[in-house]
Structure 1
């Protein structure tokens, strides 16, 4: 018996370190328990730590530490990619933007998960699809997202359903009340890709096929989408400072009374409520001929292939995406949950009147391309649109759209 002890210890030590996925994300068990780190974007509403404290109180030997990354999605991705390329064990659970699933899975940075461990059939169907790549589940939906139009109810009697109505009301408000009309996220980053994608979709088009294998951009629809934005900038109902806006800047501009209309995600609702009370409401984004189409956003939770405590990470994800915690994600963070039944809860609807509109927005939203090269596609879209929006508008909408399409086709040809 004594001679076999070293072998037993060696086996236990290997099990305690956990396992990593193969080069392209082969099937991986989740072994290893102990403290974990949760890497995700900056918590701008300070809701996360109290939820993590609940886990930590119940799991003193498997505590989770929050590691906040930058607010901007592309900066988050850059830090995560650098860490994972180095095969660092620093991250255990990753809060991934829904568009990163394919890239992280293809690179072997995250491990596949067993579908049966999670109640996916009770989640919003489009949200579940964002966590699937090549028929495998690579993450678990944690929050969903769809863009909404925030508007001042004390200044506007009826919200606009079309771009023409938005323009008319924004022009009227800017002249009458001397505030900005409308803004979204127009800085050249992922937010601009989202805003332009929504404009193209709301004009009846699409930039890239859902599987990311073909550029489907119709130049006429792209021109219409771009002209909607440039017209606002030329006429002044979209303030020029919005060209520097990310989510936080546009949120602050609206809740501080500097905008009559703002496109933003639902997380901006809570802070706006605290500042504006009942002087605002939200509705679906307007479009060319009626309600528009949002880009599908959100965060999925994945496990690093280099985590030494993958079993704890998996248990934490099951807890953190459970029904009770998802309710707190909404009530304490104002983030859209992924459980369908929460959108139909009368008590929650009384507290968050926008839930029915948000549910409809999520169900009618379009996912961004599923591509391991999504980051490159997004950079081309954002940089192209930024050129088109920059005063004095030297490049025509037609030239911007044609150049964008050509660059996107080159990326897809070489992937």
Structure 2
């Protein structure tokens, strides 16, 4: 009996230790939720982020951050993050996620809601905050923003005596008439069937006043006159030739090279193109201008790009993770995001800083574009939504289906996706 009683006590003691360990993993442990953490991100091509984290680590020796760089390709980064989070792993404490993933990660319960009062939300560009919310709650902190811009050959438009286009009709007219006179193609975006095409189509739809999904992913709104006008604009451009056939195979870099090599009059792309196209040795250096994307009746609306910072719901040190979010979105670090990382910051005052505007002349246009931009369709199944939009729009651009057939098919496919949520 004595041996049996001792065995029972040992089992109970072991259970208490196990329960204590489980409590630590879920609630931050006996260390008050503070300690070393990891930051997972897609590949940092400029190397600036480790420098930024070195500044944090110097001031927080007991709460150091280890940078975990995942693959450069967004789909591979998504796959690794989703696999880890789905398993309940605490390997990644803070995640630098594409803004399009925030709703999906929040709906799945993978990332924790944030305390608004502990973050510098009042200093951000107002529009970027919408990328970090889902169904009324803040699940992430905007870190880097982005908006599509219209690049143009200012030397060519000056010779033609016309201003940069503000409407689709002006863009089409210039692409059809001016570009051929100077041996150029008219206009290109990212029209290969992938996420870039989803972005280009979504921008056109919202510029026309429409949406792809409504009620934060609960309803399908794509079969509308605005969507019909938007998709027709792109389809007609390919059919009429002022959007070259080659653009149907363009992603960001292919389209950037075509413009930078002097083959295009107009290009829709992200802000990173400006530095590359303006660099010494570029065939178009000193000859490019930037304006907001055009729309049917005036400036249009870009899709918001960039990334948000989120805290793993299973982080062992969530208080340190939350403090890191505040640090990475402070004014000093946000300045480094631009100057060292060549990425558009979310801190509003930097867009009117005279020294930065002299160095980055496109900042006022980018600020205007970001202020009028909108998030991609919010959905707990955004990856499926994006695949459907890109596939259907790709078929329409290649003449395999009419615009009406494309929108009817897309409505059916999105309805099936929404029902699964």
**1:20 & 1:166 partners in 2: Cα distance?**
55
**1:183 & 1:88 partners in 2: Cα distance?**
42
Matches within 5 A, 1:30-179: 31-34=33-36, 36-59=37-60, 62-72=64-74, 74-157=75-158, 158-179=163-184
Note if contact 2:98-2:308 (Cα within 8 Å) is conserved in structure 1. yes
**2:77 & 2:43 partners in 1: Cα distance?**
9
Matches within 5 A, 1:211-226: 211-226=216-231
- Runs of 4+ in structure 1 displaced over 6 angstroms? none
Cα distance, 1:196 vs. partner?
0.3
**1:145 & 1:182 partners in 2: Cα distance?**
21
**2:168 & 2:69 partners in 1: Cα distance?**
40
Relative to 1, partners in 2 of residues 1:53 and 1:292: Cα closer, same or farther, differing over 3 Å? same
Query: Could you say which residue in structure 2 is the equivalent of 1:204?
Result: 209
Query: How does the TM-score come out when normalised to structure 2?
Result: 0.85
Query: Could you say which residue in structure 1 is the equivalent of 2:249?
Result: 244
Provide Cα deviations, 1:22-60, integer angstroms capped at 9, x if missing partner.
xxxxxxx971412x4332233345543433343344445
Note if contact 2:207-2:295 (Cα within 8 Å) is conserved in structure 1. yes
For residue 302 of structure 2, the aligned residue among 279, 284, 294 is 294
**2:226 & 2:315 partners in 1: Cα distance?**
45
Cα distance, 1:413 vs. partner?
3.2
Matches within 5 A, 1:310-389: 310-389=318-397
Cα distance, 1:394 vs. partner?
2.8
Secondary structure of 2:155's aligned partner: coil
**2:255 & 2:53 partners in 1: Cα distance?**
28
Relative to 1, partners in 2 of residues 1:30 and 1:250: Cα closer, same or farther, differing over 3 Å? farther
Query: Could you say which residue in structure 2 is the equivalent of 1:282?
Result: 290
Instruction: Report the more deviating stretch, 47-56 or 243-252.
Output: 47-56
Note if contact 1:141-1:301 (Cα within 8 Å) is conserved in structure 2. yes
Provide Cα deviations, 1:69-114, integer angstroms capped at 9, x if missing partner.
3333x44323321221123333222112222222212212112222
Give me the CA root mean square deviation. Answer: 2.9
Matches within 5 A, 1:224-239: 224-239=229-244
**1:154 & 1:70 partners in 2: Cα distance?**
35
Query: Could you say which residue in structure 2 is the equivalent of 1:409?
Result: 415
Note if contact 2:187-2:265 (Cα within 8 Å) is conserved in structure 1. yes
**2:270 & 2:186 partners in 1: Cα distance?**
18
Secondary structure of 1:281's aligned partner: strand
Secondary structure of 2:109's aligned partner: coil
Cα distance, 1:18 vs. partner?
4.5
Instruction: Report the more deviating stretch, 61-70 or 335-344.
Output: 61-70
Secondary structure of 1:89's aligned partner: coil
Note if contact 2:210-2:222 (Cα within 8 Å) is conserved in structure 1. yes
Note if contact 2:70-2:77 (Cα within 8 Å) is conserved in structure 1. no
Structure with bigger gyration radius: 2
Secondary structure of 2:384's aligned partner: helix
Instruction: Report the more deviating stretch, 79-88 or 319-328.
Output: 79-88
Relative to 1, partners in 2 of residues 1:409 and 1:330: Cα closer, same or farther, differing over 3 Å? same
2:199 counterpart of 1:188: no
Note if contact 1:196-1:226 (Cα within 8 Å) is conserved in structure 2. yes
Cα distance, 1:300 vs. partner?
0.6
Provide Cα deviations, 1:254-297, integer angstroms capped at 9, x if missing partner.
23333222111223222222234322121100112211111122
Unaligned runs of 5+ in 1: 1-5, 22-28
Relative to 1, partners in 2 of residues 1:353 and 1:116: Cα closer, same or farther, differing over 3 Å? same
Query: Could you say which residue in structure 1 is the equivalent of 2:405?
Result: 399
Cα distance, 1:19 vs. partner?
2.9
Cα distance, 1:210 vs. partner?
4.8
Unaligned runs of 5+ in 2: 1-12
